[in-house]
Amino acid sequence: MKSGMKERTRAAPAHCFFILFFSQGFLLPGQAGAGPYTQSAHGNDTGGVNRSTVSNYSAGNCAHCHEQHASIDGEEPSPASASASPFALFSDNFNNTVQAGPYVMADNFCFYCHINAGGVQSGGGVTNYQYAITYGGYTTNSVTDILGAFNLSSYHNLYDIQNFAESKFSFFKETSNPCVACHNPHLAKNHQDNPSDPAYSTISKPTDHEAVWGDGANERMSAYTSYRPPFYYGSTTTYEPGGVALHDGSQTTDYNAFCLDCHQYEVPVSTPGLASMNPNTTAGHLTAINWSASGDMHGQRARIYDVGGRGSACWGTIIAPYDAAPVKSNYVLSCLDCHDPHGTVLVSGGGRPSSYLLRKEVNNNKVDGCGPGAQDFCESDFCFSCHTNSHAGPQGCIVCHYHSGANKNCAGPWVGPTF
């Protein structure tokens, strides 16, 4: 919604915001049935949206997010914004003058509630943990809210996401929220309390924004014949997500298809200092990820050696659970077996320009080995979550092993992918 709208809507009463949307040609899919929204985490009539300054609407009501400017009972409930906001939200959707983190609450509409204290949701905010904790069982919280996750040193840059999504996806408007590239706030479900059931997924593919991704049986990692989820933290008998015995991928969303909606392309990146490890990638961009049978070893390309490895120079093995019978010839990993979707700690050392959203805990292994504190993160120990190895280290593995990496010499010419 652009400027002209302001004039027409300023005087309208609060309960007219539905009319406003329809007069602007917006329609909320599924609204007629009311089902999807009331089943969403936000629409829940007990735990859903509930702004403490908006007491005349019950929990879950749209009015906790949408309002006319200065219009509920003639006053504008907190937070007050200087002018009408896009989509009649209670604040501006995203402050795109902030091109890099750290972010503050007012930079993003979602942060007004997805903050652990001082927010507008009753109780002061919403607690959320990182992926490795909620789904992986890791126990050391770096952060306890979404704002905190995006303020970690390695994070998905919201300005770049907004620009990229606007350039690629037609549903995404100039004033759309970068979080909305991955989540539909009218559909996202309560996955954190049901981590083993992707029917409660929170995400929507940017190419299919009006549906939740992961709730369909064919939208799971079991779509790949040889996915095996990593161990749950502290266990060698239960698996992600949430510590389950079953390990056929049917309880994990197909994150690959989701992430590749964007990462099949070289995405532009503006975060100061952040660059690709890959010398063949266009400057100012990140590598296009090829997870197909002609791409990476961790994707659908079949590995060259057995789990016992090559057994000579540049040797390494693949460890549990991947070496347990029946050993599959071509494991396909999920992006979130290695990455966290929002943010992770900075990995210092190793000559890397970023820590690339790499998880601090992978396959029942707390990644450390190179010093004290949360930033203690050795590349070798990251790889040792799933491998043993005979060459190089403790840092420098990803100088040779990176997405689409090939032809990286190691004691003799080697042709073919090394990641």
Of 201-240, binders to ligand HEC (CB under 6 A) are: 201-203, 206, 230
Burial annotation 223-234 (CB, 10 A radius, 16+ → b, else e): ebebbbbbbbbe
Residue 134 to residue 131: CA distance in whole angstroms? 5
Return the residue of 183, 220, 247, 360 that touches ligand HEC, per CB under 6 A. Answer: 183
Rank residues 87 and 239 by Cβ distance to ligand HEC and give the closer one.
87
Q: Is 258 in the site for ligand HEC (CB under 6 A)?
A: yes
Site for ligand HEC in 61-80 (CB under 6 A): 62, 64-66
**Which residues in 288-307 contact ligand HEC (CB under 6 A)?**
289, 291, 297-298, 302-305
Region from 73-81, 216-224, 283-291, 368-376 binding ligand HEC, contact rule CB under 6 A: 283-291
Two tokens at 32? 């007629």
The β-bridge relationship of strands 365-366 and 361-362 is antiparallel
Position among 179, 187, 347, 370 found at the interface with ligand HEC (CB under 6 A): 179
Say if residues 183 and 203 touch (Cβ distance below 8 Å). yes
Residue sitting closest to ligand HEC (CB): 316
Q: How far is the CB of 186 from ligand HEC (least distance, A)?
A: 6
Shortest CB 202 distance to ligand HEC, Å: 4
Instruction: Show the site string, 21-40: x = touches ligand HEC by CB under 6 A, - = not.
Output: x----x-x--x-----x---
Output the CA–CA distances (angstroms, integers) from residue 152 to 130, 149, 319, 348, in the order listed. 11, 5, 30, 13
Q: Which residues contact 68 (CB under 8 A, 6 or more apart)?
A: 9, 10, 12, 13, 14, 16, 17, 20, 84, 88
Nearer to ligand HEC, 281 or 375 (CB): 281
What residue has token string 């879950």?
60
Q: Which stretch binds ligand HEC (CB under 6 A): 7-15, 73-81, 136-144, 265-273?
A: 265-273
Measured from the CB atom, is 14 or 146 closer to ligand HEC? Answer: 146
Q: Which of residues 305-364 bind ligand HEC (CB under 6 A)?
A: 305, 309-310, 314-316, 318, 322, 330-331, 333, 335-339, 341-342, 354, 356-358, 362-363
Using the rule CB under 6 A, which residue among 93, 204, 251, 364 binds ligand HEC? 93
Residues 3-22 contacting ligand HEC, CB under 6 A: 21
Q: Compute φ and ψ for 113, nearest 5 degrees.
A: -115, -35
Considering the complex, state which of residue 70 and residue 194 has its C-beta at the smaller distance from ligand HEC.
Answer: 194
> Which x/- pattern, by CB under 6 A, does the window 112-141 give for ligand HEC?
xxx------x----x-xx-x--x-------
Near ligand HEC in 393-412, by CB under 6 A: 393, 396-403, 408, 410
**Phi, psi for 356 (deg, rounded to 5):** 50, 40
Measured CA angle at 117 (ends 114, 46), to 5 deg: 60
